[in-house]
Amino acid sequence: MKSDGEIMEILAAYDLTGSLRATAELTGCSHHTVAKHVSARDAGRPIGEPMARGRVTDAFLPKIEEWVEASKGRIRADKAHEKLLALGYAGSERSTRRAIAQVKAAWRLGHTRVHRPWITEPGMWLQYDFGDGPRIGGVKTILFVAWLAFSRFRIVIPLKDRTAPSVFAALDRCFRILGGAPTYVLTDNEKTVTTSHVAGVPVRNQQTLDFARHYGVTVLTCQPADPATKGGVEASVKLAKADLVPKDTNLRDDYRTFAELEAACTAFMDEVNHREHRTTRRKPAAMLAEEAPRLHRIPDTAHTVAFGLARSVPENTPMVTFENAQ
């Protein structure tokens, strides 16, 4: 491709000689190149830009863009090619793949998610999530992981299940380890927290509402299938599983009892909370000492559901109500 300076020399030589071949000899190029640039100037097109050639997929681009938008950029090229054949498309699958790739690239460019640094406030946010723990005696365990956003303080508690009583008991222990409760607690949309969504609005489980009222916290849930909304605890779960679950990479032996797993979780918390965090350049335990006064006080007694199932005797009824049955 000729540079802008070379093109200007070609056009100046043509204006001088008026001959394509004479201009080609003066400038050291083909007379076809001279003719191309002269015709581009005469047609009023930008000089030096390649001419756009039509493609077999041009007539179907609006439909391809519609499919990419509807599938949020997930439609496969082979499936799109089958749909195009039904619409009378006569091109090859290679042309279809090239068009799909171009439309997807343009779609992603307009739907790029922007991640900004989260400037947290002390005493505001606690995130929690779960990870698959090690098997003890063939029985699967659960790792409950909590992450206090401002101080980056991590808490890992082993559980035997993910039922509401176990989760509420773990949260109660978290609050007592931290010395108080934050304003917001963020987690996934599990049945123990959210029963359903109506018009995109989450409907909270009644037990979760009772728990939140007892401790004076607001329980929020992240967007479904969007772990980036609670990336802090996601990273903590990954770190806890890599260190606590026996693997070839950490050379950790299998746990014989549940108490050994609890002791390993306590040792893990002491290690990660007393070493310098790479973001804050401070130890989370030291930052928790500053954040603790911003946490609000929790009741001396734990939430009743945390210790098992509740039974009630209705007024004027000689019956016991247990799990919606009398």
Q: Please, how many CA atoms are within 13 Å of residue 34, restricted to the half-sphere of its CB?
A: 22
Q: Would you say 163 and 191 are in contact if contact means Cβ atoms under 8 Å apart?
A: no
Name the β-bridge partners of 132.
142
Which alpha helices (H) appear in 71-163, and where do they start and end? 77-86, 93-110
The yes-or-no verdict on residue 68 having pLDDT over 90 is yes
Confidence of residue 42 (pLDDT cuts 50, 70, 90): confident
Q: What pLDDT sits at residue 321?
A: 66
Asked if 142 and 262 touch (Cβ cutoff 8 Å), the reply is: no
Cα–Cα dist 286/273, whole Å = 9
Say how far residue 137 (Cα) sits from the centre of its chain.
Answer: 34
Q: Where are the domains of the chain?
A: 4-43, 58-110, 125-307
Within a 10 A sphere around the Cβ of 164, how many other Cβ atoms? 19
Residues 190 and 162 sit within 8 Å (Cβ to Cβ): yes
Q: What is the CATH number of domain 125-307?
A: 3.30.420.10
Q: CA 154, CA 138: separation in Å to the nearest integer? A: 28
Give the residue with greater pLDDT, 29 vs 249. 29
83 C-beta neighbours (distance < 10 Å), count: 15
Q: At what angle do helices 31-43 and 20-27 cross, to 10 degrees?
A: 110
| CA distances, 207 to each of 22, 192, 218, 258, 322 (Å) | 91, 8, 13, 27, 15
How do residues 237-280 score in pLDDT, each as one tens digit? 999 999 999 988 878 889 999 999 999 999 999 999 999 998 88
- The upper half-sphere exposure of residue 97, i.e. CA atoms within 13 Å in the direction of its Cβ, equals 4
Query: Is 0.85 topped by the overall pTM?
Result: no
pLDDT single digits (tens) 106-147: 998 888 777 777 788 999 999 999 999 999 988 999 999 999
pLDDT above 90 covers a percentage of the chain that reads 56
pLDDT for 306 equals 45
pLDDT tens for each residue of 156-211: 999 999 888 899 999 999 999 999 999 999 998 888 788 777 777 778 888 889 89
Q: Count the alpha carbons within 13 Å of 65 in the hemisphere toward its beta carbon.
A: 9
Query: What confidence tier does 54 reach under pLDDT thresholds 50, 70, 90?
Result: confident
User: How confident is the model over 21-37, as a mean pLDDT?
Assistant: 90
Question: Whose CA is closest to 145, among 45, 36, 242?
Answer: 242
